[in-house]
Amino acid sequence: MSFTDAIINHDSDVINIAGVPGAGKTTEVINLAHRQSSKTFLYLSFGKENTANARRRMPNNVCCMSFHSFAYKQMGVSKARVVSHLGFSHYKSSLNSIGLSIQSPALLECISLLNELFCMSGVPLNQVSTLLGNPSFPNLNKRDLSVALNAFIRLWNACWEDGSTLPITHDMYFKAYALSCKPIEYDYLVIDECQDLNSAMFELCLRLITISPNLIMVRLGDPCQQLFGFRGSSEQFAMYGFDLTLSATHRFGKTLCNLTNDFMSYQTVPHYTKIQSNSDHTQVSNYIGFNAILSHIENGRKQTVIAKYNISLWHILKELALKGVKCSILGGVNKNEFNFLKQLYHVYCTGDKGAHGRLKGMTFERLKMKASINRDQEMLLSCKFIESIHDVGAQAFNVIENQLTDMKDADVMLTTVHQAKGLEFKHLVMMDDFDCARSGSHFLRLPKEEAYLIYTAMTRAKESISLPKSWGDVV
């Protein structure tokens, strides 16, 4: 039975579909929407880039939005209230405005953590106390925990009073919508990238299907592409079981298909679907090196470089920019990160202590030592990046800015695995910042989260892929 027939003929209002990378889940939704042209669809996805890609392809009877953009529209909150992160100063100010003076860092940390966990959870406000069992909470006595709990509840309620101007995060307005949602007037609710939904998102979906008459919910995903565990992604999608599994990929050929299956056979991960392919159009090569990337560019072959860490992209970006290569970063340049690197370079050059944020009170060497002790790989790579531009100097930042351009004009696209979710690229180069996955002639068993990262990275390629240097001679 085809994807479309399986959904149309399904006898339940919820259908769960697992699909391997490149199985054509988006294309199948497009076909369904065309076949059901008199019906309306709401397509929700976890990722911004994936949602934008779907929006470009879907017919007019499909409304494509990310979970947060949908909640933002429904809640009608003022853009001026929304901040990316609430710091202790935000909490102290907001609490003061409702008559609560809390200065203790431990209590503020507890309130902050309660807010973070509550926004990712599926629990209602009257059960928020159940979250206090999380081991991440500071070691407080019962009285202090009670103070923090009551302060958080009062603050949460104050945030949603009519006319409130208290600052809120994206996750806060999403949770508020999940708790207060009303029926939606669509025939189909299509949820993509279900493996990365947190409990609050699952709870919203269940509420919508419960209160919206005649709504049919289609859940799509791949459990082995779960990348957002650090943001509370839930195992619920895999726990439901699958009504249909799409195992054939149209994205890449047999060579990469077999290599991916071989890699995953060494991993102890549940719910893996062995990928099948009927073509052999993908070239797999060992590590090609920087000069080979330049050679490919000279021959008109645009490249996509994919990395585990965002800072790794700055390393290759610097080298490419110094060679005059036009580059683009998927999702755009993170201005906060760029400014942080400039500040870190200043601390490195002057020997002074930093004045703001993560650099406050820290010399370069102390920061580097702390990162080493804490095994903070991203910070260590940041320090290494700064040391690498010593000979070029501060002008390296100007060169980088001058060589950044739009995606359509770039010779090299740079992306992290997280940004690349749901996307595909003709010619892919994997950077060497992933965990070493190979020893000799066989793959190594890796932690589940790392295995998922590598699996997702490998399966973005269409026509060619270059493997990490640490893997040695694979082909």
State yes or no: pLDDT of 449 exceeds 90: yes
Do residue 386 and residue 286 come from a single domain?
yes
With beta carbons less than 8 A apart as the criterion, state whether 128 and 184 touch: no
Do residue 204 and residue 345 come from a single domain?
no
With beta carbons less than 8 A apart as the criterion, state whether 297 and 303 touch: yes
Q: How confident is the model over 233-251, as a mean pLDDT?
A: 91
Q: What is the pLDDT of residue 140?
A: 86
Q: Where are the alpha helices (DSSP H) in 308-430?
A: 310-322, 335-350, 364-373, 377-388, 395-403
Whether 163 is in a domain gets the answer no
pLDDT-based confidence at residue 232 (cuts at 50, 70, 90): confident
Minimum mean pLDDT among 100-114, 345-359, 415-429, 457-471: which range? 345-359
Task: Report pLDDT digits (tens) over 10-61.
Answer: 888 999 999 999 999 999 999 999 999 999 999 999 778 888 889 999 999 9
Do residue 12 and residue 68 come from a single domain?
yes
pLDDT-based confidence at residue 1 (cuts at 50, 70, 90): low
Instruction: Indicate the residue among 108, 137, 152 that finishes a domain.
Output: 152
Residue 191, beta-bridge partner list: 44, 219
With beta carbons less than 8 A apart as the criterion, state whether 61 and 70 touch: no
Do residue 424 and residue 306 come from a single domain?
yes
Tell which wins on pLDDT, 79 or 270. Answer: 79
CATH number for the domain harbouring residue 431: 3.40.50
Whether 460 is in a domain gets the answer yes
State yes or no: pLDDT of 2 exceeds 80: no
Whole-prediction pTM: 0.89
Q: How confident is the model over 101-126, as a mean pLDDT?
A: 94
Q: How confident is the model over 175-189, as a mean pLDDT?
A: 97
Q: Please, which residues have CB within 8 angstroms of residue 161's CB and are 6 or more apart in sequence?
A: none
Total domain count, the chain: 3
Q: What is the pLDDT of residue 329?
A: 94
* pLDDT, mean over the chain: 93
Do residue 7 and residue 134 come from a single domain?
no
> What is each CA distance from 451 to 181, 240, 269, in whole angstroms?
36, 23, 8
Whether 169 is in a domain gets the answer no
> What SS3 class is residue 436?
coil
pLDDT-based confidence at residue 421 (cuts at 50, 70, 90): confident
> What SS3 class is residue 21?
coil
Q: Please, which residues have CB within 8 angstroms of residue 472's CB and are 6 or more apart in sequence?
A: 286, 438, 440
Q: What is the pLDDT of residue 282?
A: 95
Q: How far apart are CA 46 and CA 462, in angstroms?
A: 23
Q: What is the pLDDT of residue 260?
A: 97
State yes or no: pLDDT of 405 exceeds 80: yes
Strand-pair category, 425-430 with 461-466 = parallel
Q: What is the pLDDT of residue 63?
A: 97
With beta carbons less than 8 A apart as the criterion, state whether 379 and 337 touch: no
Do residue 278 and residue 405 come from a single domain?
yes
Task: Report pLDDT digits (tens) over 322-362.
Answer: 999 999 999 888 888 889 999 999 999 999 888 887 888 99
State yes or no: pLDDT of 464 exceeds 80: yes
Range of the domain at 91: 83-152
Whether 170 is in a domain gets the answer no
pLDDT-based confidence at residue 384 (cuts at 50, 70, 90): very high
Do residue 340 and residue 299 come from a single domain?
yes
Do residue 32 and residue 181 come from a single domain?
yes
CATH number for the domain harbouring residue 50: 3.40.50.300
Q: How far apart are CA 100 and CA 147, in angstroms?
A: 10
Do residue 236 and residue 278 come from a single domain?
no
Do residue 308 and residue 402 come from a single domain?
yes
Do residue 206 and residue 288 come from a single domain?
no
Pick from 268, 259, 302, 230: which is nearest to 457 by CA? Answer: 259
Do residue 13 and residue 64 come from a single domain?
yes
Q: How confident is the model over 436-457, as a mean pLDDT?
A: 94
Whether 168 is in a domain gets the answer no
pLDDT-based confidence at residue 240 (cuts at 50, 70, 90): confident
Whether 162 is in a domain gets the answer no
Helix axes 199-211, 170-180, angle to 10 degrees: 30
User: Within 10 A of 64 (CB to CB), how many other CB atoms are there?
Assistant: 24
Q: How confident is the model over 92-109, as a mean pLDDT?
A: 93
